[in-house]
């Protein structure tokens, strides 16, 4: 493990070159790039509008007030934006497997996992971050969160843990292509659709759904559980009060599982034969 980290550090300039090439490729056509950013902003802006209209009508969902709902949403969107910017190379990975492009990745004297990570840049991630920050500012104007040093440190750990959780899901879903070749259905389900549950407080769902979002697909640790810490909400209805502190450890565990599964799946790869 330590030798792998040392090797990755030594190869950092090569990974940096790949990232720069990916960014330049996405920004080659400036008009298309600007329209894409505006489209992403419009999509998520409309999503925020739906949430705002719903909160305006109902004032609260369960025990969650408007500002608290805005805080939930901002945690989700900021971490999702970071994931989109960092882990976008895994979204089209099944095409690499089908077309044999992954053969070229294996021939490089670099980590295949980090190579895929650096091969694609998703500018829409920054649009998510902008909207998330706006939501975060609005949420703080509607709530009474005390931003002490400990709270700021916790926020960094929560966002990092949320990125690791979502990033690990992308890696595992991408690695499944080594076995299934096409993973479009799994990607739509686990990467995109499952995330929709987090637009609302997890405690409004029935117990089987809450169990699944906690122990099977730990998405609730991205925003629902840590929000209790910042908002000083009652934790009596949670599976365990300590869950509000576990976003970062859960993120580390998920990433370790994803790396293990990736390495196991790579050994299953048999190329296209062409």
Residue 89: what pLDDT?
Answer: 75
Residue 94: what pLDDT?
Answer: 76
Question: Are the C-beta atoms of 163 and 219 separated by less than 8 Å?
Answer: no
Contacts 24+ apart (CB under 8 A), 94-97: 94/174, 94/177, 94/181, 94/182, 94/183, 94/184, 94/187, 96/177, 97/177, 97/178, 97/181, 97/269
Nearest-angstrom CA–CA distance, 244 and 241: 6
Q: Which candidate, 177, 172, 227, places its Cα nearest to that of 194? A: 172
Question: Are the C-beta atoms of 120 and 89 separated by less than 8 Å?
Answer: yes
For the entire predicted model, the pTM comes to 0.82
Residue 214: what pLDDT?
Answer: 92
Please give the backbone phi and psi of residue 60, each rounded to the nearest 5 degrees, phi first: -155, 155
Can you read off the two tokens belonging to residue 17?
């070159």
Distances (CA, A) of 257 to 64, 146, 262: 33, 35, 9
Q: CB burial class (10 A; 0-12, 13-18, 19+) of residue 239? A: middle
Among all chains, which residue has been given the structure tokens 């089987």?
208
Residue 124: what pLDDT?
Answer: 67
Among all chains, which residue has been given the structure tokens 């998405």?
219
Angle CA(204)–CA(144)–CA(132) in degrees, nearest 5? 65
pLDDT tens, N- to C-terminus, the chain (274 residues): 444 445 544 445 554 555 555 555 555 666 666 776 677 667 666 766 766 676 666 667 778 888 888 898 889 988 988 888 788 778 777 777 777 677 777 776 677 777 777 676 666 677 778 778 888 888 888 888 889 999 999 999 999 999 999 999 989 988 888 787 677 777 777 777 777 788 888 988 889 999 999 998 899 999 999 999 999 888 887 888 999 999 999 999 999 999 999 888 888 776 655 5
Residue 9: what pLDDT?
Answer: 44
Nearest-angstrom CA–CA distance, 180 and 73: 34
Domain ranges of the chain: 2-266
Question: Are the C-beta atoms of 178 and 97 separated by less than 8 Å?
Answer: yes
Q: Which candidate, 57, 54, 82, places its Cα nearest to that of 201? A: 54
């Amino acid at each position: 493990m330590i030798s792998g980290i040392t090797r990755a550090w030594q190869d950092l300039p090569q990974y940096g070159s790949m990232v720069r090439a990916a960014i330049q490729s996405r920004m080659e056509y400036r008009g298309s790039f600007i329209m894409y950013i505006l489209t992403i902003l419009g999509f998520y802006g409309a999503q925020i509008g739906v949430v705002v209209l719903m909160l305006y009508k109902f004032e609260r969902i369960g025990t969650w007030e408007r500002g608290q709902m805005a805080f939930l949403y901002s945690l989700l969107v900021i971490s999702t934006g970071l994931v989109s910017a960092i882990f976008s190379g895994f979204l089209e990975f099944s095409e690499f497997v089908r077309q044999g492009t992954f053969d070229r990745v294996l021939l490089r004297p670099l980590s295949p996992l980090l190579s895929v990570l650096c091969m694609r840049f998703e500018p829409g991630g920054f649009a998510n971050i902008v909207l998330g920050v706006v939501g975060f500012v609005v949420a703080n104007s509607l709530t009474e969160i005390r931003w002490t040093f400990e709270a700021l440190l916790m926020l960094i750990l929560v966002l990092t843990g949320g990125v690791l959780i979502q990033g690990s899901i992308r890696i595992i879903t991408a690695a499944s292509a080594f076995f299934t070749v096409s993973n479009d259905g799994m990607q739509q389900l686990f990467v995109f659709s499952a995330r929709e549950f987090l637009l609302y407080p997890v405690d409004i769902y029935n117990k089987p759904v809450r169990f699944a979002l906690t122990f099977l697909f730990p998405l609730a640790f991205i925003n629902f559980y840590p929000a209790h810490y910042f908002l000083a909400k009652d934790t009596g209805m949670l599976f365990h009060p300590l869950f509000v502190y576990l976003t970062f450890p859960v993120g580390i565990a998920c990433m370790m599982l994803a790396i293990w599964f990736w390495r196991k799946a790579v050994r299953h790869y048999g190329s296209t034969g062409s």
